[in-house]
């Protein structure tokens, strides 16, 4: 693929006074990412590919990075079908030098990286009791979740700082905020991403670079084994997810798109939770009759939905 020339409309330099706001127009008018270059790691997954589509729909060219060739090809085709340029990179970003090579390829093709989305992450490699885990497993999770995120930010920030514009969206998880038994290393790394994002966001805010994070849960993806779940599982989803359904990649991509534009110019170092309400629910479950914070009562009400006389303990 040959490098192409794109026009990047200059945006706010971060030193405008309030009186100037009316001269620049509303930041949500027209395509939200016109002329931008977006790099998406984990770009072949359900969330990553949805981010690629969203960027293309709003005028950006996209670099799709994933370890699976077929997913990269599909995501690239989806971007190109929307009339935008795409570069596909098949790479294991946990390998030494892989992240720097990714950024170098993006710059060679498009001249720069305006938006970085670190959507790559994994927990399945080390699911089990902590005492049975190994340092090798910890290192694998560290590389795929935290290290690649830090390396990618480190690689793109000099260019963003030079141009006085940039957007970085990291990916965390609600498990990094609450807990996830049998996944202690994973939750530690996700919590670290939240903290890293907060500090980096503050450090580079004066350069008109916005660094934020999205914490996800219960979204259709390979990570939650959704594609292997039996159909009858669907009827239980409204019990656990207040929104009443599993999230789609597009649901999360909408949040990423917002954080990647001028609409998020006043958002710095934040972790936005996109989970259909699971974190806010705090252990409460919807039954056919009542909300309950006792998992045992979920089955109780499912077996006999007519129960509504006496309120068992734990039911509001």
Tell which residue, 101, 141, 99, has the closest CA to residue 122.
141
Residues 161 and 304 in one domain: no
**In the predicted structure, residue 187 carries a pLDDT above the cut 70:** yes
CB 86 within 8 A of CB 37: no
Active site residue 142: no
Q: Is residue 295 part of a domain?
A: yes
Q: Is residue 6 part of a domain?
A: no
* Cα separation, 78 vs 90, whole angstroms: 16
Q: Give the chain's mean pLDDT.
A: 85
**The dihedral of CA 189, 195, 197, 199: what is its sign?**
negative
Q: Is residue 157 part of a domain?
A: yes
Q: Is residue 259 part of a domain?
A: yes
Choosing from 142, 186, 189, 285, the catalytic residue is: 186
For 273, the token pair is 């939770």
Residues 315 and 253 in one domain: no
CB 117 within 8 A of CB 260: yes
Residues 236 and 299 in one domain: no
Residues 147 and 292 in one domain: no
Please state the rounded mean pLDDT for residues 73-97. Answer: 98
Residues 117 and 254 in one domain: yes
Return the biggest CA–CA distance within the chain: 71
The string of DSSP codes covering 18-58 is GGGHHHH--TTSS-TTTT-EEEEETTTSHHHHHHHHHHHHT
For residue 8, what pLDDT is reported?
A: 37
For residue 237, what pLDDT is reported?
A: 80
Name, of 4-8, 136-140, 287-291, the range with top average pLDDT.
136-140
Residues 244 and 293 in one domain: no
For residue 40, what pLDDT is reported?
A: 99
Helix (H) or strand (E) segment spanning residue 210: strand 209-216
Residues 147 and 289 in one domain: no
Which of the four pLDDT bands, split at 50, 70 and 90, describes residue 313? very low
Question: pTM for the full model?
Answer: 0.84
Residues 273 and 149 in one domain: yes
Residues 55 and 126 in one domain: yes
Distance from the Cα of residue 309 to its chain's centroid: 44
Which of the four pLDDT bands, split at 50, 70 and 90, describes residue 300? low
CB 208 within 8 A of CB 164: yes
For residue 290, what pLDDT is reported?
A: 79
Residues 161 and 291 in one domain: no
Residues 193 and 305 in one domain: no
Please state the rounded mean pLDDT for residues 35-64. Answer: 98
Percent of the chain with pLDDT over 70: 80
Residues 103, 105, 106, 109: what is their CA dihedral angle, to the nearest 10 degrees? 160
Q: Is residue 254 part of a domain?
A: yes
For residue 308, what pLDDT is reported?
A: 47
For 312, the token pair is 């068992």
Q: Please tell me which residue, 24 or 94, carries the higher pLDDT value.
A: 94
Which residue segment(s) compose the domain that 99 sits in? 31-277
For residue 89, what pLDDT is reported?
A: 99
* Cα separation, 299 vs 287, whole angstroms: 8
Q: Is residue 193 part of a domain?
A: yes
Here the CATH number for the domain that contains residue 152 is: 3.40.50.720
- The domain total for the chain is 2
What does the pLDDT look like over 13-24, one tens digit per residue?
334 333 344 445
3-class secondary structure per residue, 243-287: CCCCECHHHHHHHHHHHCCHHHCCCCCCEEEECCCHHHHCCCEEC
Residues 156 and 241 in one domain: yes
Please state the rounded mean pLDDT for residues 63-81. Answer: 98
Q: Is residue 5 part of a domain?
A: no
Least confident of 83-92, 212-221, 254-263, 303-312: 303-312
Q: Is residue 197 part of a domain?
A: yes
For residue 309, what pLDDT is reported?
A: 43
What does the pLDDT look like over 132-164, one tens digit per residue?
999 999 999 999 999 999 999 999 999 999 999
Burial class (CB in 10 A: 0-12, 13-18, 19+), 155: buried
**In the predicted structure, residue 284 carries a pLDDT above the cut 90:** no
**In the predicted structure, residue 108 carries a pLDDT above the cut 90:** yes
**In the predicted structure, residue 4 carries a pLDDT above the cut 50:** no
For residue 49, what pLDDT is reported?
A: 97
- Unique residue bearing structure tokens 């930010």: 153
Please list, residue by residue across 185-210, b when 16 or more beta carbons sit within 10 angstroms of its beta carbon and e when fewer do: bbbebbbbbbebbbebbeebbebbbb
């Amino acid at each position: 693929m040959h490098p192409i020339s794109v026009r990047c409309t200059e945006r706010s330099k971060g030193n405008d006074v309030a009186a100037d706001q009316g001269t620049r127009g509303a930041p949500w008018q027209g395509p939200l990412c016109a002329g931008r270059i977006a790099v998406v790691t984990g770009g072949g997954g359900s969330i990553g590919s949805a981010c690629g589509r969203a960027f293309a729909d709003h005028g950006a060219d996209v670099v799709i990075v994933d370890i699976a060739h077929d997913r990269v090809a599909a995501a690239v085709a989806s971007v190109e079908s929307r009339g935008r340029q795409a570069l596909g990179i098949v790479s294991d970003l946990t390998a030494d030098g892989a992240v720097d090579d990714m950024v170098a390829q993006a710059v060679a093709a498009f001249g720069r990286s305006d938006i970085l989305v670190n959507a790559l992450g994994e927990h399945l490699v080390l699911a089990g009791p902590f005492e049975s885990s190994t340092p090798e497993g910890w290192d694998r999770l560290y590389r795929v979740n935290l290290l690649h995120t830090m390396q990618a930010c480190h690689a793109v920030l000099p260019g963003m700082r030079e141009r006085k514009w940039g957007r970085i969206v990291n990916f965390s998880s609600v498990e990094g905020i609450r807990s996830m038994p049998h996944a202690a290393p994973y939750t530690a790394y996700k919590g670290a991403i939240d903290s890293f994002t907060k500090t980096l966001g503050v450090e580079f805010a004066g350069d008109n670079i916005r660094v934020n994070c999205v914490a996800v849960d219960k979204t259709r993806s390979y990570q939650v084994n959704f594609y292997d779940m039996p159909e009858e599982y669907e009827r239980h989803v409204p019990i656990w997810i207040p929104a009443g359904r599993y999230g789609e990649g597009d649901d999360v991509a909408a949040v990423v798109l917002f954080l990647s534009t001028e609409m998020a110019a006043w958002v710095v170092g934040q972790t936005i939770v996109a989970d259909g309400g699971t974190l806010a629910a705090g252990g409460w479950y919807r039954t056919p009759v009542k909300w309950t914070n006792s998992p045992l009562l979920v089955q109780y009400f499912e077996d006999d939905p007519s129960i509504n006389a006496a309120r068992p303990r734990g039911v509001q």
